[in-house]
Amino acid sequence: MHLFKKFYWLINPILIVCFITLAKEVFKIENTFLSTGVACALAFVLSPKVKIVEKQTGEEEQIKWLFFKKVINKKM
């Protein structure tokens, strides 16, 4: 979980590259704009959402992902 807190921002670009590769190789989509648009939309939906919350102890980042049931807190 500590590694996820450090590098959560890398998940979105990695998902975009994976979905573009999947569209080109598996689904044989030749249109670059179409494959990039679909890949960006899917990556946006599946990437973690970050919200800054003010608590008594100070500001914290709350990271929520579609596949995790709990919210991950990260001190700023």
pLDDT tens per residue, range 29-71: 899 999 999 999 999 999 988 899 998 888 888 888 887 888 8
- Give the domain extent around 45: 2-75
- Specify the DSSP class assigned to residue 57: T
Number of independent structural domains in the chain:
1
Pull the structure tokens for residue 64: 């929520």
The model carries a pTM of 0.78
- SS3 state of residue 75: strand
Q: 9-23, pLDDT tens digit by residue?
A: 899 999 999 999 999
pLDDT of 74 = 80
Q: How many helices (H) and strands (E) does the chain have?
A: 3, 3
